[in-house]
Amino acid sequence: MIRVNALVKNFGTLRAVDGVSFDINAGETFGLLGPNGAGKSTTINMVVGVLDPDAGSVEIEGASSPAQARRSIGVAPQSVSLYPELTALENLRFFASLYGYRGKTLAERVEWALDFAGVANRAGDRVGIYSGGMKRRLNLAAALVHEPRILLLDEPTVGVDPQSRNHIFACIEKLRADGLTIIYTTHYMEEAQRLCDRVAIIDHGRVLDLDTVPALIARHGGKAVVEVVLERPPITPVGGKLDGTTLRIETDDPVAEINALYADRTAFTAIEIRRANLETVFLSLTGRRLRDD
């Protein structure tokens, strides 16, 4: 469906994308996960043809360039791309008309998009007075009004309220179930873990690893941690790392460690199991040092 091969993009002396490659299957939700400034948006802009790569290529549905596959692509950019002085209805009519929709078909697509965004009751209001969440939802609907087969979402939940975020998640899950191919860029680990079939972790313009979430966790997540708060400091040495009355045990089998504590009649007041997740993988690959780039 989509083949990205060795993309490179420079901005002066800065190499924003440095040899990025990946394939995306039809009907797959594919995540690009990375810190701010990692090269995610630049990669997306080359995939859709907004930017020309300095090297490498993009093939979409057999076409040799994004321009040839333009009608099959819908894009919801990170910066909301709506006309604030127009109403939601006028925005959607305009975007649908760019793809040749007219008359009854246009009206049906606009009605669908308003319902999809959850703004049908505010269709006649200027978008400029919408909340941030409403704008994000309408931005997504505008990307879908022309019935694309491929949807590119660039940080679609930035700055939205919890209700709008859940609405966007539900919409994406419905589109996924309907077989739409989705590229989803984000720096929110929980979103990628929930929504994506496969994830590419990108940093400094390079793909550090790419796989399903369970495979990435198995490869880079490390062991689970059992954290136990003891009733009193132990008299005899115990396994794991002891900090006062807090015992931390790294293990591949946390249940066995807990059973061993019960068998030894270890007295404790609290116990917690922390398993590796996509955040663990992300920090393992990109580093734990705070960065502003």
User: Domain extents for the chain?
Assistant: 2-218, 223-275
Please tell me the predicted confidence (pLDDT) of residue 240.
80
Please tell me the predicted confidence (pLDDT) of residue 288.
58
Is the pLDDT at 158 greater than 90? The verdict is no
Q: Does domain 2-218 correspond to CATH entry 3.40.50.300?
A: yes
Residue partners of 19: CB distance under 8 A and separation at least 6: 6, 7, 8, 56, 205, 206
- Angle at which helix 88-97 crosses helix 103-117, to 10 degrees, equals 130
Pairing relationship of beta strands 2-11 and 14-24 according to DSSP bridges: antiparallel
Q: For residue 99, what is the enclosing H or E element?
A: none
Sheet holding 268-274, edge to edge: 241-243, 246-251, 224-230, 268-274
Please tell me the predicted confidence (pLDDT) of residue 221.
87
In terms of pTM, does the model score above 0.85?
A: no
Q: What is the mean pLDDT of the chain?
A: 90
Residues 293 and 290: their CA atoms lie apart, in Å, by: 9
Dihedral sign, CA of 149, 171, 21, 19? positive
Please tell me the predicted confidence (pLDDT) of residue 236.
61
Residues 281 and 234: their CA atoms lie apart, in Å, by: 33
Is the pLDDT at 85 greater than 80? The verdict is yes
Q: For residue 3, what is the enclosing H or E element?
A: strand 2-11
Per-residue pLDDT tens for 190-229? 999 999 999 999 999 999 999 999 999 989 988 888 999 9
